[in-house]
Structure 1
Amino acid sequence: MPSGVEQQQAQIAELARRIGQLASADRMTVVVAESLTAGRISQALGAAPDSSTWFGGGVIAYQPFTTYRLLGVQPGPVVSAECAEQMAKGVLESVGADASVAVTGVGGPGAEEGQPAGTVFISVGTRCGVRSFSYRFSGSPETVIALTTIRALTHLKNVLLD
């Protein structure tokens, strides 16, 4: 029987595969902006079949100054829905893509910016607008990152289905 980690990895791979199918069918380019996940979402999308035809890449903005400079996020708290929204818009506009997903949050083990460990903000964007979601996951930093990756890919898939 597969472990919890193996099940999460399989779920991530399946979500990335489905995103690729949807993006390819609609000839869309998908991009990402990641802080908390430090490239995990990009890694999953890049490993999906035919990713070079629909995955435009991403920005890993792990420190606030990178988020401000590369993604056009206004200086201030980076663990917020507003930051995630600005990240999603910034990467979408800078690449000229059709859809984006952005994540920011606190993996733990301690709090940051007054937000407890497990606080996560995810935004998905298209040329029509941006939607945001917030979560409070429990568990180790690795668990928080895995759950964030799964939820971010799920929201991206759902945007592509719309």
Structure 2
Amino acid sequence: MDAVEALAQRAQDRGARLAVAESLTCGLLASTIGKGESAQEWFAGGVVCYALDVKERVLGLEPGTDPCSPECAEQLARGVRQLIVADVAVSVTGVGGPQPSDGHPAGTVYVGWADDAGTGHRMLELDTDDPGEVLEASVDAALEVFLERLA
């Protein structure tokens, strides 16, 4: 069973409503999750917020927060969870490459989450500066976080 199938099963078994906030992945995570069986029953939706001002206005990111940081990942997850009214929300932010950005090397990624237990994050230090590889690995990590939060 692949991660999307496992997520679909787990979300349905728990009656959970999921949401995503995407910066780095630009909609790839939502697109991947949407392939899950009966996604319309458990995937509430998400927000793609690539621009910093959108993160601040729509999801409540505190101005001045580094967009490639644990704080950003957690605030985005908390903001989209509240906006969409979800049980579990996951966010993805970081540097896709091929160049570093704002002092962060390509492949630096933060996956944040928010649920009834609180907020948290996972940092990825991917050994690649290929944007496609960074995005794929980031989506995989976000799916893992969802599965862990629904365990």
TM bucket normalised to smaller: over 0.9
**How many angstroms does 1:138 deviate by?**
2.0
1:98 aligns with 2:101: no
**How many angstroms does 1:21 deviate by?**
0.8
Distance 1:69 1:17 in 2: 33
Name the structure 2 match of 1:19. 7
Q: TM-score, normalised on structure 1? A: 0.89
Name the structure 1 match of 2:118. 129
1:34 aligns with 2:22: yes
- Give the match's secondary structure for 2:113: strand
More helix by share: 1
Aligned ranges 1:1-162 → 2 under 5 Å = 14-76=2-64, 77-139=66-128, 140-161=130-151
Percent identity of paired positions between Structure 1 and Structure 2: 35
- Give the match's secondary structure for 1:130: strand
Q: Where does the alignment leave 5 or more consecutive residues of structure 2 unmatched?
A: none
Q: Which runs of 4+ in 1 moved over 3 A?
A: none
Q: TM-score, normalised on structure 2? A: 0.95
Distance 1:111 1:42 in 2: 25
Code of the residue aligned with 1:20 in structure 2: it is: A
Q: Where does the alignment leave 5 or more consecutive residues of structure 1 unmatched?
A: 1-10
Distance 1:124 1:19 in 2: 15
Distance 1:73 1:141 in 2: 24
Code of the residue aligned with 1:159 in structure 2: it is: R
- Give the match's secondary structure for 1:104: strand
- Give the match's secondary structure for 1:144: helix
